[in-house]
Structure formats: structure tokens, C-alpha cells
Homo-oligomer: A and B are copies of this chain.
């Protein structure tokens, strides 16, 4: 039952605990008939090894922690799938941690790493600073990063080129004839926001178009934020005909604001988001957005991190910059 232990099995099979352990761990150093006896005893007693004892002794848990900002956001859920499937195929389990957008929760979850509950951690767009993250790595903990890059010899990263992505989006809008393009950024302190803004500016510069600071607003990466930001833009009374929102949620907020203000998308206002949330295909008009290889990033990083934990052979390649893809749909198409 629930509380039989290795010594009970040993007694029942008339062998030592060492032998039972050998059977459990598929050692070749045990004769077929002994093995059979032991297996029979295990079966009869319904014995399952205590993972805590095992992990304590072996000093590993074969578990990877994954910290995401919000498990409700599909972006994270898909990354998790990538990590999980790869990890499982390499005999690792994953422990999913929902930081609920709070930095303190992230930190709490990091303690799982420090107290040996997990062998490594994958942080997906964490709020922790580069310095804080690097400190963990410097102390010998195994950490990987998704959706962000830190230049540190022990921290593998998988991320998209936000600058390039944003440039592509803005170029597309310019190509559609837009000259005044607003940008909705996410949290002011999020690297993604910053980089996307950078790409936005570069695209304008390359096209010889002026950068108008008033066309930048912050929308906190969520729907309400996007809604409010768009209203603020409108109140400024500056003309603009397109909005590039740093994610789909904010773009959805723009949709809502436009509906209220009777602004027709895309005829009067072009809109592009980022993430390819499933919803973008269901809204009217269908939303143009950017697809990032979420599953792939998860899978790539999980493999890399597990590799690193096992042979300590840090291959030089630890930065995986993957390509994103602009999906042009109705919301940004001039007729």
C-alpha cells in the first residue's frame, strides 16, 4: 500500500535493500531469479519508491521548473507544450509556475531552484532584471530564458528578433500607404516593448518618415490598456491612420475603442498586433498579427538546458534567435 518501503520489499523477497535497489534501477548485477523474486514482492506489496529519498540521495530531481507570467495567455501555454514534450522525451518532468504577473511570485518560484526542488528553471519573459537573473547563474544555478536575451555564458536563451519584427510590421503599414502610424507599447520596463519600439523607429527612419513622440502610448500589454491608450491618442487630436500594438490583447482594445468611436477598421484605421492569439482569426475584421514559433522556442530551450545540466559541456551556441512571421489579414489591408 501507500507506505511500504524498500526494506519491506527486501524482507519479503529475502534479499537486501541493495539488491532491491539494483532491480529498481535496472542494474545488470542481479541474477534473473533474484530479480524475479524481487519484482514479485514489489508487485505484491504495491510498492512505489519514495521520490524524495531517491532525489535526496542522487542529488537530482529530473524536474524542470517553468515560470510564466500568466498561464491564461495562450502564448505561454504553447511555449509550455514545447518545453514539456521535449523534456518528457528526455525523461524530465516539468513543474509549471504561474507568476500571475507579479515579480515577487517569480522570486518565490525561483526558490524552488535554490532549495533543490527542481534541477533547472526556464523563465519565460520574466520581470526579474538581467542582473538578478545573472546572479542566480553565477551562483551555480541552471537557468534558461525564453523571449529575452541575456549575454551570459551559462544562460541559454531562445527569443525572436523584436526589432526586425517591428520593422517588418511598420514597413508593411508604410507599404499600405500609411504615413502616421501610432505605436502601443507594453509595460514600460519590458524588454519586448522596448525592442519593438526600437524597430518601429528604425522603420520610420529608413523610410525617411518623421518620428512623432505623441504617437507613442503605453498599454500595459492588456486589452483595457490598449483601449485606454487608443482613446488617449484620439484625444490628442493628432491625425494617424494606423496602429501597431505590441501585442494582440492591446490590439483588441483598439478594436473596442474603434467600435465605440465608429472608426472603421481597416478603412479608417489599420491595426496590427503581435502573438497570433487564436482570437485574431475570429474578430471582424480578421486581425493582422505576428506569429512567433512558440512551441519551437520552448522545445529548443528545454533541450539545450537539459543538455547543459547533464554533460556540463556548454557548447558555445546558447543564443537561439528564431524568426517570426507577419500574418497579413484584413485589419491592415487598404482595399
Contact = CB atoms under 8 A, between A and B. Distances in A.
Interface of A: 1-3, 46, 48-53, 55-56, 61, 71-72, 74, 77-78, 80-81, 84, 93, 95-98, 100, 111-112, 114-117, 139-141, 252, 278-279, 282-284
A282 to B, nearest CB: 5
A283 B252 CA distance: 12
A115 B49 contact: yes
B81 A96 contact: no
9 contacts: A46-B139, A50-B56, A51-B116, A72-B74, A72-B78, A72-B81, A77-B77, A84-B98, A95-B95
Nearest to A95: B95
Given A2-B114, A46-B139, 9 more contacts: A48-B111, A51-B115, A52-B55, A71-B96, A72-B77, A81-B98, A84-B100, A93-B112, A252-B282
A231 to B, nearest CB: 20
Contacts of A97: 96
Contacts of A117: 51-52
A72 B295 CA distance: 12
Contacts of A278: 279
Contacts of A115: 48-51
A80 B71 contact: yes
Nearest to A111: B48
A141 to B, nearest CB: 6
A139 to B, nearest CB: 5
A50 B152 CA distance: 27
Q: How many copies does the complex hold?
A: 2
Nearest to A57: B52
A140 B2 contact: yes
A52 B61 contact: yes
B141 A2 contact: yes
A140 B74 CA distance: 36
A301 B72 CA distance: 20
A52 B116 contact: yes
The 5 closest A-B pairs by CB, nearest first: A96-B96, A51-B115, A2-B140, A52-B56, A72-B77
Contacts of A72: 74, 77-78, 81
Contacts of A140: 1-3
Nearest to A78: B72
Contacts of A111: 48
Nearest to A74: B72
A302 to B, nearest CB: 14
A116 B50 contact: yes
Given A61-B52, A114-B48, A279-B278, A77 B71 contact: yes
A84 B99 CA distance: 10
